[in-house]
Amino acid sequence: MSGPHHPLIESRQSLIEAGKPIFMQIAEQIENDIIDGAIEEESPVPSTNEFAAFHRINPATAGKGVNRLVDDGILYKRRGIGMFVATGARQRLVGARTEQFRTNFVGPLLDEAAKLGITPEQVADMIKNPTATERKANNS
Amino acid sequence: MTRTDPDTAVRVAGLTKRFGTFTAIDDVSFTVERNKIYGLLGRNGAGKTTLMQLLTGQQFATSGTLEVFGASPVENARVLQSLCFIKESQKYPDSFRPEHVLASAPWFFANWDAAFAARLVDDFRLPLNRPIKKLSRGQLSAVGVIVGLASRAPLTFFDEPYLGLDAVARQIFYDRLLEDYAEHPRTVILSTHLIDEVSNLLEHVLVIDEGRILMDQDAEQLRGSASTVVGKKTDVDAFVAGRDIISRDGIGGLASVTVSGLSEAERTAARAAGLELSPVSLQQLIVQRTTSTTGSPTTHDAVTATDAWSTHS
């Protein structure tokens, strides 16, 4: 028996979290690999069956995640060879994620700041210089 | 009866099975699509095994219709040749050793792959020439799992196949099932209590409870279909008012309520209201759905849990 005792086996299952559609998680992981350069543009991504075997998930589910990126134009299919990252995919993903960053992080941050009477300028100060602005915010 | 539908492995309509006054399967209708891995899930005595016995022609239906690959499985050689049913406690002739089981398997299974079986024997470290009677519980289960995988039957049932199998052996089973299924797609119906372990393998979920189908859903739709909202009781109550409440729990001034179908905007609203959201695994979801219907909720909040259910049913 070879595979089953490999330490990776314990860790890889935790890459998939419960309670969230797996195909979305697969799509996000591929996106992350493209954004941080782990998979370069015009290079191949693993096959659906490889994703399924690695993450121990149903191949149809893995295929759904890959197809979602094909629909978004992030990946494209080369007949008989496999899936490849499209040119310009990284820039488009960074653009989309920046929008998400604004709604998911900056929005709630400013909402909470407003609740506490912290102005956006003070928030910006805090971000630039965390230790100094802490005192300033307490004084105001 | 219709002719063989290329996309459908099993079609069941109004199926009922009674044993005396006990109704094991109660007016059940569903279809199983070909080349998907199904989970047949439910509590002990829910009717899982009876349903699989009906589908494999080992029990006669009291009423209703049942087609497997377009025909009734009962006494139908063409249909039965396409099936493999791995039972929790398969009986073998007294004199049998695992090597005899593997040697006779090709007589029953047209797609039998002896090389794959040999590899599985190595994986599970199964002693081939030890009498079946002398095998450990886990080794006996391994025999069934090997037959179920290497038979590559177009419709394979695994009924709690891994009694006594340790965690490593179960993982080998899942890995080999996925690998082989990817190369040789076929219909697999996996019945188990270990929902968390298998949930990611499943494409579709059938949940049976007290002889009825409680859920018949795409596994991906089920995942993320429910969230648990935790926070101050008054805040939680305000947020969940009017929603589909699956279960409710609480202690002191804290409440924890599982609701279905929250949109992204609703999630943001919940967080803004100071509530914590946590995902619900397939297992938790099924446990909550199947305990809610028994009429004896075990939550601290028994009264409200029952109320919540009555709004749902």
Q: What local confidence, expressed as pLDDT, does residue A14 receive?
A: 55
Per-residue pLDDT, A86: 96
pLDDT value for B3: 57
Residue A119 pLDDT: 93
Task: Tell me the CATH number at B131.
Answer: 3.40.50.300
B190, B218, B246 — which closes off a domain? B218
**B237, B253 in Cβ contact below 8 A?**
no
Q: Which residues contact A98 (CB under 8 A, 6 or more apart)?
A: none
Whether B89 and B181 map to the same domain: the answer is yes
Asked if residue A18 lies in contact with residue A32, where contact means CB atoms within 8 angstroms, the answer is no
Last residue of a domain, one of B218, B246, B272: B218
One domain for residues B178 and B113:
yes
Provide the residue count of chain B.
313
Residues B112, B171: Cα–Cα separation, whole Å = 22
Residue B239 falls within a domain, yes or no?
A: yes
Average of per-residue pLDDT across A5-19: 53
pLDDT band at B37 (very low <50, low <70, confident <90, very high): very high
Strand-pair category, A82-85 with A75-78: antiparallel
Whether B248 is covered by a domain: the verdict is yes
Q: Does any CB of chain B come closer than 8 Å to the CB of residue A61?
A: yes
Number of folded domains in chain B?
2
Residue B201 lies in a domain: yes
What tens digit of pLDDT does each residue of B254-295 get?
889 988 878 778 888 888 788 888 888 888 888 888 875 544
Q: How far apart are CA A118 and CA A127, in angstroms?
A: 13
- Tell whether A102 is within 8 A of chain B (Cβ): no
* Number of A–B residue contacts, CB under 8 Å: 82
Q: Answer whether residue B2 is part of any domain.
A: no
**pLDDT score for B67:** 95
Query: Do B49 and B128 fall into the same domain?
Result: yes
Asked if pLDDT for residue A18 goes beyond 90, the answer is: no
H or E element, residue A123: helix A120-128
Q: In angstroms, how far apart are the furthest CA atoms of chain A?
A: 66
Distance from CA of A72 to the nearest CA of B (A): 20
Answer whether B267 touches A (CB < 8 Å). Answer: no
Q: Which residues of B touch A25 (CB under 8 A)?
A: none
- Cα–Cα distance measured from residue A132 to residue A135, given in angstroms and rounded to the nearest whole number: 6
**Do B290 and B172 lie in a common domain?**
no
Cα B274 from chain centroid (whole Å): 37
Residue B3 resides in a domain: no
- Confidence (pLDDT) at B204: 96
Across the strands, what pairs with A121?
none
| Pair (B213, B227) in one structural domain | no
| Angle (CA) B261 B265 B266, round 5° | 50
Please compute, for residue B74, the number of CA atoms within 13 A of its CA located in the half-sphere on the CB side.
Answer: 6
Q: How many other CB atoms sit within 10 Å of the CB of residue B255? A: 23
Q: Which residue of A has its CA nearest to B196?
A: A18
B236, part of any domain: yes
| Listed residues B200, B218, B236: the one ending a domain | B218
Q: Are residues B157 and B290 in the same domain?
A: no
Total residues belonging to chain A: 140
The verdict on B230 touching A (C-beta cutoff 8 Å) is: no
At B309, the pLDDT band (50, 70, 90 cuts) reads very low
ipTM rounded to 2 decimals: 0.74
Give the pLDDT score at B38. 97
Q: Are residues B161 and B253 in the same domain?
A: no
- Any domain includes B46: yes
Q: Across the interface, do B175 and A4 touch by the CB < 8 Å criterion?
A: yes
B143 and B283, same domain (yes or no): no
Greater confidence (B86 vs A131) lies with B86
Which pLDDT score, from 0 to 100, does residue B292 have?
59
B193 plus B176 within the same structural domain: yes
pLDDT at A43: 94
Residue B282 lies in a domain: yes
pLDDT digits (tens, 9 = 90+) for A76-119: 999 988 999 999 999 999 999 999 999 888 988 998 899 899 99
Reduce the DSSP state of residue A81 to 3 states and report it.
Answer: coil
Instruction: Decide if B224 and A21 are in contact by the 8 Å CB cutoff.
Output: yes
Instruction: Indicate which CATH number applies to the domain containing B259.
Output: 3.30.70
If asked whether residues B52 and B123 sit together in one domain, one would say: yes
Give me the domains of chain A, ranges plus CATH numbers: 3-87 (1.10.10.10), 90-139 (no CATH)
Count of Cβ atoms closer than 10 Å to residue A110 Cβ = 14
Same-domain status, B12 and B51: yes
Q: Do B192 and B258 lie in a common domain?
A: no
d(CA B24, CA B87): 18
- Residue B4: predicted pLDDT: 66
Question: Is the pLDDT at A61 greater than 80, yes or no?
Answer: yes
Residue A5 has pLDDT above 70, yes or no: no
B46-94 pLDDT tens trace: 999 999 999 999 999 999 999 999 999 999 999 999 999 999 878 888 8
Judge: A56–B174 Cβ closer than 8 Å, yes or no. Answer: yes
Domain that holds residue B289: 223-312
- Three-class SS of residue B158? strand
Angle among Cα B235, B308, B267 to the nearest 5 degrees reads 40
